[in-house]
């Protein structure tokens, strides 16, 4: 009888370990970091949001996206001008995907 009880205990421990492993794997899947978007993808999302009626709230973020596209941007440049240049860069990249964005 002692062995039978010990066997049940081992089954409980095995089941507990399996549950812990499954939980650990689930946590890994849920907290996995997504691959960061490329500069053209970020720019396309920005333009899509603006076209949908969104208002850009962070000029530094827009300038950063423009710089990642290879554009030279002054901190004093009007936001509308920078957005227009990002639009032009996306059109250029769509036409010549192997090239970098124009300066």
Query: What pTM value is reported for the model?
Result: 0.62
- For the cut 80, the answer to whether the pLDDT of residue 20 exceeds it is no
Confidence at residue 14, expressed as pLDDT on a 0 to 100 scale: 54
- For the cut 50, the answer to whether the pLDDT of residue 1 exceeds it is no
| Per-domain boundaries in the chain | 1-32, 39-95
Q: CB of 101 within 8 A of CB of 70?
A: yes
> How confident is the model over 29-70, as pLDDT tens digits?
778 777 888 999 999 999 999 999 998 889 999 999 999 999
Distance CA 49, CA 52 (A): 5
> How confident is the model over 59-103, as pLDDT tens digits?
999 999 999 999 999 989 999 999 999 999 999 988 886 655 555
């Amino acid at each position: 009888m002692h062995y039978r009880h010990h066997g049940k205990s081992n089954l409980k421990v095995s089941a507990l370990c399996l549950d812990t492993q499954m939980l650990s794997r689930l946590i890994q899947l849920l907290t996995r970091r997504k691959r960061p978007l490329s500069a053209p993808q970020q720019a396309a999302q920005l333009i899509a949001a603006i076209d949908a009626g969104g208002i850009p709230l962070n000029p530094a973020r827009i300038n950063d996206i423009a710089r990642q596209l290879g554009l030279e941007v002054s901190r004093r440049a009007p936001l509308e001008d920078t957005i227009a240049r990002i639009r032009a860069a996306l059109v250029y990249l769509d036409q010549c995907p192997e090239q970098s964005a124009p300066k």
